[in-house]
Every structure is written in C-alpha cells, then in structure tokens.
Amino acid sequence: MRRIAVINQKGGVGKTTITANLGHALALAGHRVTVIDLDPQGHLSTCLGIFRPPQHGMDEVLLNEVDIASVTMVTRESLMLVPAGNRLADVEQMHDGGAARARLLIDGLKDQFEGQDFLLMDCPPSSGLLVTNAIFAADEVLIPTSGDYLSLTGLANLMVTLKKFEPYREKPLEQWIELSRFINRRRLANEVKEKLLKHFPNRVLATPISEAAVMAECPGVGRTIFEYRRTSRSAKEFSALAEDLIEKRCM
C-alpha cells in the first residue's frame, strides 16, 4: 500500500479537492483507496457528499486509541473515508506523551487496511502535530502548488520542514509536486512551472490541474468531478493525474 500525505503549509492550493478527486480517480481506475481527513475543518467529508460529518473519526483514533476500522466509512465503490471527527483540533493541543505524540497515526494505522492500494491523507495548512503525524506515517508526499510566487515560498518552507524530519525517519519520503489551480495562459503560472522543473527535476507530476469553476461547484453538491461533470476537462485531468501517480510519470 502506498501511503501518501497531501501536504502544503500554505492554504488555498487545493489539497482537499485533490485528495477527494484523485482518490476517486484511483478507485475508478481499479484500485482500492482510503482517504483520511487530518484537517480539523473536515471538508473532505463534504467533498464526498457527507454534509453532516460523523462526530467521531480520526480524533478518536489519535486521542483515545480507537480502532480506525470502527470509524471508517464506505463512500464509493473501492473508496473509503476516515472523517476528521469534531475533536481533531484537540490533537494540536496535546502536551503529554513526548515524542510518542508524533507517532500516534503510525500506531493507529498498524495492521490496518490490508488489501488497500492507496492511502491518501488530507493535511491541514500548518506545521503542527497533525502534519507531523502524517509525515511520519507516509511513504510519499504529494505537494499541490498553485501558479503564484507565494505558493513557491510555501513550497520552499515545506521542503525545509521535511528535511528536518529526515534523520528521524527510516527512509526518505518520495516527493511529488502537483501543479494545481493552473492557468496556462498566465505568464506567471508558466514561470512558476519552469522554476519548479528547474529546481525539482523528475518530481513534478505530468498533468497540471487547471483552475475551473466546475471544481469549485463540486463540494456544494457533495460530488466528485466524475459524478458532477465526467466529460469535463477537469475529469480528464484527474484521470490523467491518477495515471501519473500510479506510473510515477513526471514532466
């Protein structure tokens, strides 16, 4: 099973949108997928059509050592969800437990989800304990980066953060960068793309996800792009992005 943290300390780059739609794209491609909501806002549930997210989810797993299987939901064929739960923000306030606090998620995932192909973790836009848990639990990170310079700054800061964790991990994280909310006709967006290709060779996934009004509409009806506009350019892009991730195909 590939464990992938969808992470960027900058907000507004499309982490939740990518987690929901990429997760569904992978499931439609024949893979068994679980998505985990590690953001206390709980928007991943909404994107998948659960407008009243369950009160219990990852909060109970991390705070009370509840079996993660007991809070896992089937949302689509081959696509399962572990919701955030309404007390997930309390994890950031934990002071007891020392270094073990950073490995709560690893412990919660132990011997779970056998037979799954992909585990995607939607992370909050921060560098707190929830993100730390995701970094330790993941084998790979997928970093959505929009086509602006502030996003590049956020990416640079994240790379510094990831490097700090390297001595404490058994093996390095595989790192993938995804161009999100991309507007090809904008010169700035293409300048950002060129900088990414220069500084992160063989790490920028081949298919950018374009900025599109249809993507902003999907959460309001609780559907992924494949259910809302399956013939749209956005749906085709997410299908291609899933193949990029499966094949590790880069620009």
DSSP annotation string for 68-87: GGGG-EEEETTEEEE---TT
pLDDT of residue 162: 93
Question: Burial letters for 83-116: b for 16+ Cβ neighbours within 10 Å, e otherwise?
Answer: bbbebbbebeeeeeeeeeebebbeebbeebbeeb
Predicted structure pTM score:
0.95
Cβ(208)–Cβ(165) below 8 Å: no
Closest CA to 70 of 60, 79, 78, 62: 60
pLDDT number for residue 139: 96
Residue 36 bridge partners (DSSP): 82, 121
- pLDDT tier at 100 (50, 70, 90 boundaries)? confident
C-alpha 124/C-alpha 59 separation (Å) is 14
pLDDT at 159: 93
For residues 157-180, give the mean pLDDT. Answer: 93
Instruction: Give, as one character, the DSSP assignment of residue 172.
Output: P
Residue 149, pLDDT above cutoff 90: no
Please say if the pLDDT value at position 186 is more than 90. Answer: yes
Q: What is the pLDDT of residue 143?
A: 96
Among 90-94, 134-138, 200-204, 231-235, the range scoring the smallest mean pLDDT is 90-94
- What are the structural domains, with CATH classification, of the chain? 2-247 (3.40.50.300)
- Joined tokens for residue 49: 């059509």
pLDDT the model gives residue 147: 86
Strand-strand pairing, 118-122 and 33-37: parallel
Residue closest to 19 by CA, chosen among 44, 42, 41, 2: 44
pLDDT at 48: 97
Question: What percent of the chain is predicted at pLDDT more than 90?
Answer: 81
Residue in the block written with tokens 């982490």 = 15
Comparison of pLDDT for 188 and 149, the residue scoring more: 188
